Amino acid sequence: MRVTQFAAGVGLAMIIGAGTVEAQDYPATSIRLVIPFAAGSVAEVFFRILAVVAEPKLGQRFIVEGKPGADGNIGAAEVARAKPDGYTLLLAPTATFAVVAHLYKELGFDPQSGFEHISMLVENWPLATVGASVPARSLGALAEYVRVNPGKFNYGSQGSGTPTHLIGAAFSRLAGNTMVHIPYKGTPPMIQAMLAGDIQLVFASTAAVLPQLKAGKLHALAVMGRQRQSELPDLPTTVEAGFPQLAMSNWWILAAPKGTNLRIVERLAFEFRAALADAGARKRIMDLGLDPVGLSPAETAAYIRSESARYKTIIEQGNIRLE
């Protein structure tokens, strides 16, 4: 019995040892990071901030590549098909991991089973923001205002199927399901439409609306999260406003192809969580209007499952289709 246990122990030690060596040798060359959107996105900006801290520890550089198309699906599918050796990674947002699977019949990848989820790096809690002509000054008052003005209230989004669209759909359902969704191609035209009075409500990042809030051209009603923001300390959260089900954020996750050595996954998770804890990097990321997070691989995978189920319900209840 002791001989068998010893042999089994040696075998296990050899496997663990081999994995340790592989992890210690990683990375031996530069790492390609795919962001499934055009170059210059906020994801690229915050990742480069983190890379400055992580690269010296890893001993290799990250080569960032924008791969736009099909709402991010093209870049995500390419990484899912890549060799699982840790040298091709994906940095993608909420839509990629929790939304598109419920809107597209064929993605070319599985957001949950097609990747090793390394870490949820950052998130952004949007603000429920209305135009100056809207009399409501709280989320509850807005819901009532919408109810008594059916069909006369438009909300904008950064595009069909984006989190800003789905947050609006969830609010619309709570307010009588009479709001009209107007999609735009990104944040700038959405904000311009808001200022022109074409739409009355948006769920946008603090950075996107803060200048207009300070100028009194727009009014924020609530932070769609669980904690107040330092830039707007008097603005209540959606939880405080009585709408805890609307606590929704846009987040970005670092992932590798399924089958990537878990020791490599853990190494990357460790280094990026350490980078997020760096005071300088943390401040620069927060200055972008983003909250550093740094979930573990297991926590990240569990969060994706939970959020995917949540968005699936919103999409089904709202009978949402790509426009």
Whole-angstrom CA distances from 110 to 68, 76, 96, 131 are 18, 9, 10, 39
Which residues touch 183 (CB under 8 Å, ≥6 apart)? 156, 157, 158, 159, 160, 162, 165, 323
CB-based contacts of 166, cutoff 8 Å, min separation 6: 99, 248, 311, 314, 315, 318, 320
Alpha-carbon gap, residue 294 to 120, rounded angstroms: 5
Tens digit of pLDDT for each residue in 138-169?
Answer: 999 999 999 998 888 999 998 888 888 999 99
31-123+268-317 and 127-246: identical CATH topology: yes
* Nearest residue to 42 via CA among 307, 246, 251: 251
Pull the structure tokens for residue 193: 């439409």
**For the whole model, what pTM was predicted?**
0.87
CATH number for the domain running over 127-246: 3.40.190.10
Summarised one tens digit per residue, pLDDT across range 27-65 is: 999 999 999 998 888 999 999 999 999 999 999 999 999
At 97 the pLDDT is 97
270-304 pLDDT, tens digit per residue, is: 999 999 999 999 999 998 889 999 999 999 999 99
CA–CA distance, 62 with 52 (Å, rounded to integer) = 10
Q: What is the tens place of the pLDDT at every residue in 155-212?
A: 999 888 888 899 999 999 988 888 999 999 888 999 999 999 999 999 998 888 999 9
Evaluate whether 305 touches 112 at the Cβ level (below 8 Å). Answer: yes
Instruction: Report the topology of domain 31-123+268-317.
Output: D-Maltodextrin-Binding Protein; domain 2 (3.40.190)
Tell me the domain boundaries of the chain: 31-123+268-317, 127-246
Residue 8 pLDDT: 39
